[in-house]
Structure 1
Amino acid sequence: MSSAHRWTIRQWFLSTPRGKRSNGMDVIGLGRFVVDMFAGEWDRPIREVDSFLKYPGGAPANVVVALARLGVRTGLISRVGNDEFGIYLVDFLRKEGIDTTHVGFDSERRTSLSFCGTARFGDFPFFQYGEPGPNLRLRPADISEGYIKKARILFTSGTIFSASPSREAGLTALSCARKNQVITAFDINYREGFWESRDVARVHYKLILGLSDVVFGTNAELGYVGGNEDVDRAAAGILELGAKMVCVKFGERGSRIFTQSETIDIPAFQVEPFDCSGAGDSYNAGFLYGPLKGWNLRRCGEFASAVSAIVVTRRGASVATPTLAEVEAFLNSYRR
């Protein structure tokens, strides 16, 4: 493909009305908002843990918090229980300067809790309580087209689509965004226990991917929803569904960005990890910061890797996310 026809994120983003200007939020997150209860002791089974630390959690919430700390105007569409945990979550967002006008309180369901084991390397176990929780009770009527159409990016993730009525609410939101030329970003975030079956999940993922401009996922998730263990072929299949780009996260091995015209490998920064639980969400946030600034794909990926690298050296997910000054200082230290 000639250079004249090479697609760039900056050209695509600036070609949309919302890319040129916005009188609303820069980024709206949609979906899961829960309390993460992280084990106070490392590398031990949950049954042997004596204490837990409370943090706000859920992929969309983590992403908007990370972006807010980078100076981006963000809001969240979700539901929490009308209880102490729900109040804690909403208060946290408000203190971070995030718009909460579309976070509802549910009087019938308690706020969901996610008990997480902690491990410095590899996977960490987690157990869900209070599911299906309030965020899975979002309804299409809770989705405001007027709110979404003023945004520049709508970000969501897989769990909200795992059950009704939140599945229909999510599809309504994506449709509103597409109708109003708002960029849609989606993290596969596949959690088997949330879905009725693997077959049901695959059917709905195919529909959602067809409504998503930017798709994030791990190499394992991409192979699952893309129907091919070969990451390159799986990404090509998702691009054929209509996505503009696919970002595959390989953890400490970096990431790979696919578009119809190019593939870019982004190395990971070498740091000593402390807690990897927020690595993926912080990468997503860092990447989405780029198009708001008109950056090219490589710069988006490198910035995302830097944000993620900082987060894994700290404890927690959303609370560990850095400020813009911290990310710039980190990048400058590697350029010397």
Structure 2
Amino acid sequence: MPDIITMGELLIDFIPYEKDCKLKDVDKFSKAAGGAPANVAAALGRIGCSTGFIGMIGKDSFGDFLLDTMAEQGVNIQQIIRTDEAMTTLAFVSLQADGERDFAFYRKPGADMLLKQDEIDLDYLKSADIFHFGTISLTDEPVRSTTKFLVQKAKENGSLITFDPNIRIALWDHELDKLKQEYLKVLPDVDLLKLNIEELRKLHPDQTSKLDDQINLENLKAVAKSIFAQGPKYIVITDGSNGSYFISENHAFHAKTEKIKALDTTGAGDAFMAGILSKLIAKDNLEDLNWESALKRANKFGAITCSRYGAIPALPDKDDLD
């Protein structure tokens, strides 16, 4: 069984050929496999880690493509469930000149929203060192309850629980309070929380109100202290070209990242997450991990992905390892 299991959305990203163009003006798209937890699993599989994915896709041609793609990346696909009750979820992406994105989701409902807990073989979870998830599987029932159920089961099995909110506010009817409510409900079960600076500001506005533009290790340590009280033991914060930070109650590190020309940031945060998780396998005490080295690897993974188009197609492979 896999050492690392991710769960959530597996979908099709339609990436535009045109850049710095509004979605309504895009003429041509290319199809790519995507979905944040799926990207993490694929990134781990590409570098040879034992990884599996739990999620639901449609019994359609897009679902066939996704299943084949995940298997090709070395991901265990045993718990990717198929349904004929909805089509595979689609996301159309528009790219700005700096590589940032805007999304339009076709998910009313999408297959990923329909996963039920009784469709999962719980024995699949038993040997996992790490269980990773995000917030998109918390938007709607029944997948919301399934996500919480699987987090609890993984925790009972002794897995490290890692969480990347990966905010897509459009999927929450543009209501940040709805997202924050579900985010805070799962936070007590999380061991390692990964956020980017913008997500940190949105999800913890009271704690970050004094940050302004003074983003440094000392200021972030003060913010992290209040988050520790809500459950997580370890926090990883990314800040784009300014690098990344690791903070626990006893340690704090900042790692710079190499300067690159960003073509497409789709999947960069997921590649970063995979870089971190690849260092955590079979670690009983995360305090003993060389976090500076882990951050540098994760930064490199994110930078490589930004320099290429798409999500899974842009992820690092074994040749990119340090």
Fold agreement, TM-score > 0.5: yes
Q: 8 Å contact 1:249–1:255 — kept in the other structure?
A: yes
Q: SS of 1:108's equivalent? A: coil
Tell me, yes or no, if structure 1 residue 285 matches structure 2 residue 274.
yes
Structure-2 separation of matches of 1:99 and 1:189: 23
1:323 to 2:317 alignment? yes
> Residue 49 in 1 paired to residue 26 in 2?
yes
Identify the residue that residue 72 of structure 1 maps to in structure 2: 49
Partner residue, 1:202: 180
- Among 217, 220, 238, the alignment partner of 2:227 is 238
Contact 1:121 1:273 in 2 (8 A): yes
* Cα offset, 1:212, TM superposition: 0.9
Which of 250, 253, 258 is matched with 1:261 structurally? Answer: 250
Following TM superposition, by how much is the alpha carbon of 1:56 offset from its aligned partner in structure 2, in angstroms?
Answer: 0.3
Shift, 1:142, TM fit = 2.6
User: Which 4+ residue blocks in structure 1 deviate beyond 6 angstroms?
Assistant: none
In the TM superposition, what are the counterparts of 1:76-95 in structure 2 within 5 Å?
A: 76-95=53-72
In percent, how many aligned pairs have the same letter?
A: 28
CA distance in 1 between partners of 2:245 and 2:44 (Å): 21
Amino acid at match of 2:320: E
Gaps of 5+ in 1: 1-23, 329-336
TM (norm. structure 2) is 0.90
Letter in 1 for 2:237: V
One-letter amino acid of the counterpart of residue 251, structure 2: E
Alpha carbons 2:100, 2:264 under 8 Å: kept: no
Q: Distance in 1 between matches of 2:319 and 2:91?
A: 31
Shift of 1:302: 0.6
Distance (whole Å) between structure 1 residues aligned to residue 277 and residue 170 of structure 2: 28
Quote the offset at 1:120 in angstroms.
Answer: 4.5
Distance, in Å, in 1 between the alignment partners of 2:321 and 2:30 is 26
Structure 2 CA distance for aligned equivalents of residues 128 and 203 of structure 1 = 22
Query: For residue 28 of structure 1, what is the amino acid of its counterpart?
Result: I
Say if 2:113 is the partner of 1:113. Answer: no
Distance 1:80 1:299 in 2: 36
**1:220 counterpart residue number:** 198
What SS does structure 2 have at the residue aligned with 1:184?
strand
Q: Secondary structure at the match of 1:99?
A: coil
Pick closer, same or farther for the CA change 1:43–1:287 going to 2, 3 Å.
same
Q: Is 1:140 aligned to residue 117 of structure 2?
A: yes
- TM-score (normalizing by structure 1): 0.87
Aligned residue identity for 2:253: I
What per-residue deviation string (whole Å, max 9, x for no partner) do you get for residues 16-35 of structure 1?
A: xxxxxxxx211111001110
Asked whether the 8 Å contact 1:248–1:257 carries over to 2, the reply is yes
CA contact (8 A) 2:62 2:88 kept: yes
Which of the numbers 175, 182, 199 marks the counterpart of 2:159? 182
Distance 2:160 2:97 in 1: 34
Note closer, same or farther for the CA distance 1:142–1:233 as it changes in structure 2 (3 Å cut). Answer: farther
Secondary structure of the 1:210 match is helix
1:108-136 Cα shifts (integer Å, max 9, x gaps): 10111100012341531110113331111
Q: Please state whether the residue corresponding to 2:132 is helix, strand or coil.
A: strand
The total of aligned residue pairs comes to 305
1:163 is aligned to 140
Which string of whole-angstrom CA distances, capped at 9 and with x for unpartnered residues, describes residues 78-108 of structure 1? Answer: 0011111111100111122211111111101
Separation of aligned partners in 2, 1:129 and 1:322: 28
Deviation at 1:263, TM superposition (A): 1.7
Of 192-201 and 283-292, more deviation after overlay is shown by 192-201
Query: 1:120·1:276 contact (CA, 8 Å) conserved in 2?
Result: no
- Once the 2 structures are TM-superposed, how far is the Cα of residue 144 of structure 1 from its aligned partner? 3.1
